[in-house]
Amino acid sequence: MAGIGFELRKILSEKRLFSILKAYGYSAAVSSGPWLISIISILIAGFIAKIYLKDQQIVTQFQVTITYLIAISLIFTSFFQLSFTRYIADRIFEKKINKILPNLLGAIGFNMVFGFFFIFPFALIFINSAGVLYSLLFTFSFTVLCGIWIANVVLSGLKNYKFIILSFFLSYFLILVLVFTFGKLGLNALLASFFAGHAMLFFLLAGLIIKKYPSDKLVEFDFLNGKMFRSLIFTGFFYNAAVWADKFIFWFHPQTSGHVLGFLRDSAIYDLPIFLAYLAIAPGMAVFLLRVETDFAQKYEEYYSAAREGATLAHIYKSGNEMIEAARTALIEIIRIQSIITIMLIIFSEPIFKMLDMPLLYLPLFYIDLVATQLQLFFMSLLAIMFYLDRKRSVFILTFFFLVLNVGLTFLSIELGPYFFGYGFALSLLIVSTAGMYLLNKDFERLHYETFMLQ
């Protein structure tokens, strides 16, 4: 008799795969890459200029220009960073490796072209006081940075760490040499050096990517066909905008800012401590990369393959617990290491400031900034784990509140007076980190349930 029974075979073999696994590997790009690059650029550029140039005003102009270039290019490409990373991760998961190169080049081109047309009028109109050449260099540097941020999406997956580090080293060495040789010629020469170095970096990275991802096509715009997650587009923007929100507010608030060049302003009181504080999270960053991207990622992979490839429930429970344990260890260790650093820096900050010849007036702000940047690192780690678990909704909400809180509380801190500067940023991070921990805890409690039932 021809019954349905005969069809059962097809039905079971249809076992839907875990969509969650697709997310694998798109957390690294959250921020660690661009973040390191930008902090290093800003500080190195500043110090180099300071050592070789006598004119303090030009140094400030150069440093502020670079800060703006990085901030605006990061925010501009933020719509793409996460969603496009996910797009690439999905293609890797589907084993459609030949889709990667053309779409990556497509996305780089897309961002650079739009970046160029977005920034060019801005540079011409708002920063015209420095001259047309400056505006052009500003535009080119911005465009090349946009390209680098998008290329960064696949860097962590390439595993060619030596070549990548060498590229960065060579590019920054080039900047150093150029600044040393032509720096005396003024702001435009400094900016040209910055551009040349980053252009070289961009081409080195692009070359590596083209070599590593074979494809029969060069450029494609498949990623624009609705294959990127809308929530990630906004999450990327919220996060980047939030990270820079307090800085921009301080740069443009009349009480805390000063004019530098054209439209560009800075905040003499706010900027130095916070960028120094960012330097201090380098050790925590290393722990983050090691614990989250290595230990946790491995446990994560084990858990989902156990679930997918027919392990017993007992084994699935065990792998799940190991994964949760790995996440816990990562978060605790980041807090622990970074707290030691923070405490040490607080204790030794006076001698350090004296040694660097910086006014002690900055100290209270520096303390709170140390706490804030530590929290930012912690928050970043939480987000990374959530990305692995594919909690797009939670991450969307958290980053949205990070932006709203940072804007609101930063304004409030300015109203409350200099003693509260920096507290807005720190408090907003404290709130979203706590909320993030709460959500992650909930997710882990429901881990197996969500893994199996919600598909």
| Cβ-based nearer residue to another protein, 11 or 355 | 11
Among 282, 371, 446, 447, binds another protein (CB under 8 A): 446
Distance CA 216, CA 18 (A): 30
| Cβ-based nearer residue to another protein, 10 or 54 | 10
Is the separation of the CB atoms in 284 and 341 below 8 Å?
Answer: yes
Shortest distance in whole angstroms from residue 8 CB to another protein: 7
Shortest distance in whole angstroms from residue 11 CB to another protein: 5
Shortest distance in whole angstroms from residue 444 CB to another protein: 14
Site string for another protein, 308-327 (x = CB under 8 A): xxxxxxx-x-----------
Residues in contact with another protein, counted by CB under 8 A, come to a total of 31
Shortest distance in whole angstroms from residue 340 CB to another protein: 39
Distance of CA 297 to the CA centre of its chain: 18
Is 302 near another protein (CB under 8 A)? no
Neighbours of 87 (CB within 10 A): 25
Cα distances from 342 to residues 8, 231, 347, in angstroms, run 61, 34, 9
Q: For 253, which DSSP code?
A: -
Is 11 near another protein (CB under 8 A)? yes
Output the six-digit token pair for 439. Answer: 């959500």
Is 453 near another protein (CB under 8 A)? yes
CB-based contacts of 326, cutoff 8 Å, min separation 6: 291, 295, 296, 298, 299, 300
Measuring CA to CA, which residue among 220, 211, 192, 208 is closest to residue 65?
192
Shortest distance in whole angstroms from residue 251 CB to another protein: 42
Distance CA 160, CA 205 (A): 11
For 23, the enclosing helix (H) or strand (E) is none
Shortest distance in whole angstroms from residue 307 CB to another protein: 6
Is 438 near another protein (CB under 8 A)? no
| Cβ-based nearer residue to another protein, 11 or 356 | 11
Shortest distance in whole angstroms from residue 296 CB to another protein: 23
> Quick one: which segment of 12-20, 64-72, 97-105, 246-254 binds another protein (CB under 8 A)?
12-20
| Cβ-based nearer residue to another protein, 184 or 448 | 448
CA angle 410, 416, 422 (to 5 degrees): 40
Is 8 near another protein (CB under 8 A)? yes
In the numeric block, the tokens 């140390």 are attached to 370
CB-based contacts of 60, cutoff 8 Å, min separation 6: 260, 266
In the numeric block, the tokens 């900034």 are attached to 369
Is 452 near another protein (CB under 8 A)? yes
Is 450 near another protein (CB under 8 A)? yes
Among 12, 254, 351, 355, binds another protein (CB under 8 A): 12
* Residues of this chain that bind another protein (CB under 8 A): 1-13, 15, 307-314, 316, 446, 448-450, 452-455
